[in-house]
Every structure is written in C-alpha cells, then in structure tokens.
Amino acid sequence: MTASSPKHDVFQAIADPTRRGLLKLLAGRELPVAALCQHFPISRTAVSKHLRILSDAGLVKERKSGRETRYRLEPGPLQELKRWLAFYEIFWDNRMAAPGRYVESGTVESGTVESGTVESRKPEAVQMKPESGD
C-alpha cells in the first residue's frame, strides 16, 4: 500500500448504514462532530470512529476551526462506486421494462442474459374450480 492510497476502500466505507447516514448529512455542508452526533443513537466516540473510516477512504475531509473539528463530504471517490454500479444498470432497466412489455403484449418473456435468448409465450390461463356450497 502506498502512502497516497486509502486505508479503506469506498465499498467498505459505505457498507455501514451509519456511515451512509453521515455522508448524507454532510452533502452540501460542513458540520462539526457535535452536530453529527445528534442524528445517531451512538456515542461521540463511535461517530468519530465512523468519520475516521470515511476519512481514510477519502470520502470526508476534516478542518480544524478553533476547538472543533468540522467535516465535509469529498464526493470524488464516489465516482468509483458510480462506475461499478453503471455496469449493472442494464439489468435493472431490463427488469423494470419487463412488466410493461408483458402488459402491452400479453406475452411472458423468459430466458437468460448469458445465453442471449429470450422466449416469448402467451401466459397460461388459470383454471378456477367452482367453490362448493358446503
């Protein structure tokens, strides 16, 4: 590991819901630890540890202002996450479009992405048994 490489990667840093919450709070503003602690049911020490992990990943920057330390979001490293997720958008887009295609065509599509085959068929009718009057 070189001196300039982060101790934690972005994926490890955002894996925890508390750290994701901290990032959301810091979006567009700089806040001191005391203000951040008010939003979580954990100790100031625990919040500071989460901020250290985010800082080690390059996601937050800290600045001393008098006696307090203020934190701000550093969004640059989130580009790595965005690039990784972009690859999977095709799968989400296909899944989201499938119900619309089904409704419009009245057919069901089946198949796999790996094989590249998609088979269309008419949905089977469901046979309902008449309820007995027991």
User: What CATH code is carried by the domain that includes residue 14?
Assistant: 1.10.10.10
Classify residue 107: in a domain, yes or no: no
Classify residue 27: in a domain, yes or no: yes
Classify residue 70: in a domain, yes or no: yes
Range of the domain at 31: 10-75
| Beta-sheet strands, E only, within 48-124 | 60-65, 68-73, 108-112, 117-121
User: Which 8-state DSSP code applies to residue 76?
Assistant: T
Number of folded domains that form the chain: 1
pLDDT in tens, the chain (134 residues): 444 555 778 999 999 999 999 999 999 999 999 999 999 999 999 999 999 999 999 999 999 999 999 999 999 999 999 999 888 888 777 766 666 666 676 655 555 444 444 454 444 544 545 555 54
Mapping DSSP to helix (H, G, I), strand (E, B) and coil, where does residue 97 land?
Answer: helix
